[in-house]
Amino acid sequence: MGYTVEYTEEIEMLRKTVQQFVENEIAPIAEEMDRTDEFPMHLWGHMGELGMLGAMIPEAYGGSGLGAVEQAVITEEIAKYSAAVAVSYAAHSNLCMYNLYKNGNEKQRKKYLPKLCEGTKIGALGLTEPGSGSDAVNMGTTARQDGDYYYLNGSKTFITNGPIADVLIVYAKTKKENGEYGITAFIVEKEFAGFSVSKRLEKMGNRGSVTGELIFDDCRVPAENVLGEVNRGTKVMMSGLDIERVIVSALALGIGKGSYREAVKYSKERSQFGKTIENFQLIQAKIADMYTNLEAATLMTYDAAERSDKGERITLKAASAILFTAEAATKAALEAVQIHGGYGYMLDYPVNRYLRDAKLYEIGAGTSEVRRLLIARELLGVETF
């Protein structure tokens, strides 16, 4: 039950390096990204140079050879100022790159990982479809083999980085009658014939991280681009879910801490009835609750991350961490808006952006409802779906 993670000197140095980068490179453009919904392409190369993009990828493939704790630190620090950059970063580094490293063969790793690490290529993962969200294995996208190629047909939606991705991990049914045992994962390049972006999707939050709908119209994928084994794509899918939840928990944690930072700052600046509002007990109570919830979220997130680095099974810990942290982040953002009063409802202050950003993490990467079912299944050993 205990919290075990230790912030080593190396981890603190990493945090300070990322903090400096975020404050210099990301914070100044965060509001503009939200207004324009444009992705800052120039950041990717800088993040690659710092070793951020390949945090959990071994040095042999161009990565930094770090662990889940370090990846969580990077994600949290980015999200304190821009959830949009953080979610694009997580989709690239975790959903695409780490899954490719963990499940790919040596040829695939050497072909794709170095450019993804250095930031000359952008990665994404294509799983969700218009008709299948939480019920991901009920996908409609199919793949049929003809000689040395597979031909994918179908569509994916809500795909982070989808419109700008160079390399995508895409799931498709190769044996429909076998249900979850008939799914295969593929490495798809944007130049492959039959692949296209149908449209960019407008979101209420995380703007600047581009999201889109992808179309596969006899998309021709070399058989050598099967990731893992044919009809074993569910194994690939499930192998990355726990660490995904940890990284998304760190992302939500960053949003919550950003909201807390802005709330404290405003409470010290805003005067009413002859004194700054930090002196009012109801404001103090909000600040105290925000801090307490986020402190608990920090412990849960990094406990799960460290356990992952130790090789422990973390399904229960990861689901609990993201469930609690995502809801704590939304609560913190709501309170930050409330503390700002009327100004919090205006677009001039970042707290409204944090609130719009935070809500996604109760929905994406598995809804809060599904997380609760998963936790119950782990605790009780019963089928909940």
What is the pLDDT, as a whole number, of residue 3? 46
pLDDT average, residue stretch 19-41: 95
Which residues of the chain does CATH 1.20.140.10 include?
237-380
User: Does the pLDDT of residue 176 top 90, yes or no?
Assistant: no
pLDDT, averaged across the chain: 93
User: Does the pLDDT of residue 385 top 60, yes or no?
Assistant: no
Selection from 172, 197, 202 nearest residue 185 by Cα: 172
Residue 138 half-sphere exposure, CB side, CA atoms within 13 Å? 6
Question: pLDDT grade, residue 6 (50/70/90)?
Answer: low
**pLDDT (tens digit, 9 = 90+) per residue, 351-368?**
999 999 999 999 988 899
Q: What angle do CA 249, 255, 259 make, to 5 degrees?
A: 140
Q: Which CATH class is domain 125-233?
A: mainly beta
User: Does the pLDDT of residue 259 top 70, yes or no?
Assistant: yes
What is the pLDDT, as a whole number, of residue 134? 63
pLDDT average, residue stretch 154-165: 95
Q: Which residues are catalytic?
A: 244
User: Does the pLDDT of residue 73 top 50, yes or no?
Assistant: yes
Question: pLDDT grade, residue 241 (50/70/90)?
Answer: confident
Alpha-carbon distances, residue 84 vs 30, 36, 87, 208 (angstroms):
8, 12, 5, 6
Work out whether strand 167-173 and strand 123-126 pair parallel, antiparallel, or are unpaired.
Answer: parallel
What is the pLDDT, as a whole number, of residue 135? 64
Selection from 154, 169, 68 nearest residue 116 by Cα: 169
Report the percent of the chain where pLDDT is more than 90: 85
Distance in angstroms (rounded) separating the CA atoms of residues 244 and 249: 8
Residue 120 half-sphere exposure, CB side, CA atoms within 13 Å? 7
What is the pLDDT, as a whole number, of residue 236? 87
**pLDDT (tens digit, 9 = 90+) per residue, 190-240?**
999 999 999 899 999 999 999 999 999 999 999 999 999 999 888 888 878
What is the pLDDT, as a whole number, of residue 384? 59
**pLDDT (tens digit, 9 = 90+) per residue, 373-382?**
999 999 998 8
Question: pLDDT grade, residue 334 (50/70/90)?
Answer: very high
pLDDT average, residue stretch 264-273: 95
Contacts of 75 (CB under 8 A, 6+ apart): 86, 89, 90, 247, 250, 251, 254
Which residues of the chain does CATH 2.40.110.10 include?
125-233
Q: Where does 9-122 sit in CATH, by number?
A: 1.10.540.10
What is the pLDDT, as a whole number, of residue 379? 94
Which amino acid is located at 85 in the chain? V
User: Does the pLDDT of residue 136 top 90, yes or no?
Assistant: no
Contacts of 162 (CB under 8 A, 6+ apart): 124, 126, 156, 168, 197, 210, 211, 212, 213, 214
Which residues of the chain does CATH 1.10.540.10 include?
9-122
User: Does the pLDDT of residue 17 top 70, yes or no?
Assistant: yes
Distance in angstroms (rounded) separating the CA atoms of residues 50 and 258: 23
Residues forming a β-bridge with 31: none
Is the CB of residue 332 less than 8 Å from the CB of residue 256? Answer: yes
Selection from 199, 198, 196, 214 nearest residue 155 by Cα: 214
Q: Which residue has the higher pLDDT, 176 or 246?
A: 246
Distance in angstroms (rounded) separating the CA atoms of residues 281 and 11: 36
User: Does the pLDDT of residue 145 top 60, yes or no?
Assistant: yes
Stated length of the chain: 385
Q: Which residue has the higher pLDDT, 180 or 275?
A: 275
Task: Give the pair of three-digit tokens for residue 171.
Answer: 């799931």
Alpha helices in the chain (DSSP H): 9-21, 30-36, 41-49, 68-79, 83-90, 99-103, 106-118, 233-239, 241-269, 281-309, 315-340, 351-358, 368-380
Distance in angstroms (rounded) separating the CA atoms of residues 83 and 325: 14
Question: pLDDT grade, residue 66 (50/70/90)?
Answer: very high
CATH superfamily of 237-380: Butyryl-CoA Dehydrogenase, subunit A, domain 3 (1.20.140.10)
Q: Which residue has the higher pLDDT, 339 or 8?
A: 339
User: Does the pLDDT of residue 133 top 70, yes or no?
Assistant: no
